[in-house]
Every structure is written in structure tokens, then in C-alpha cells.
Amino acid sequence: MDIATAQRLAWENKQAKNFNTTDVALEFGLLTAEVGEAFTAWIRGRNDLGEELADVFLYLTALAEMNGIDLASEVTRKIEKNRRRTYARDENGVLTRTSDG
């Protein structure tokens, strides 16, 4: 499934279930909670990590929709931007960006 379709279907589900579709701050809070759940699944080696990561993605798509953002286009743009960037390790071994490409 592509990102745009997932974003549309996730939004339609939120509307059908009368989930939050207007409170952006609440949605950021719920997204943060889902990230925490995914981390807990990973750290404990649970087999539901994929489902928790899917929850993170679905909350993220809702935030994009609430703000009129085409997430698929933004992901494509960001991947290209990241591809052009260059990095090097500094004197302490920390990886730092050396150009935006």
C-alpha cells in the first residue's frame, strides 16, 4: 500500500469511528504515546513491534491530514534531500552533517 492510500484510509477510519480529527495537540500526544508503546515492544522483545510501528505510522498520517500535508510527497522530498546530504565524523567521532547537498 502506498503512503497516500494509507493516509486516506486511516483518516476515513478516524472519521467513521468518531476519533479525534481536530485537536492537533492531542494527536501529537497520542503519537508520542504510540512511539513509547513501540519502544516498549522493542525493548521487551515482544512480537507486536510491527503492529506498534503501524500505529505510529497511522497517527502520523492523521497529523499530516489534520494539517493539510501530502505525506507521500513530503517523504519523497525528504528522502531526496537526505540522499544529497553528506556527513563526516568530527574529532570526537560524532557524525555531523557537512553539506545539505
Question: Rounded to whole angstroms, how far apart are CA atoms 25 and 1?
Answer: 28
57 with 75: CB under 8 angstroms?
Answer: no
Q: Are 34 and 63 in contact (CB under 8 A)?
A: no
The count of structural domains within the chain is 1
DSSP 32-71: HHHHHHHHHHHHTT-TTHHHHHHHHHHHHHHHHHHTT--H
Instruction: Specify the DSSP class assigned to residue 21.
Output: S
Residue 81's CATH number: 1.10.287.1080
Domain that holds residue 48: 3-99
Q: pLDDT tens digits, residue range 28-87?
A: 999 999 999 999 999 999 999 999 999 999 999 999 999 999 999 999 999 999 999 999
- Side chain identity, residue 6: A
What pLDDT does residue 100 have? Answer: 85
Q: How confident is the model at residue 2 (pLDDT cuts 50, 70, 90)?
A: very high
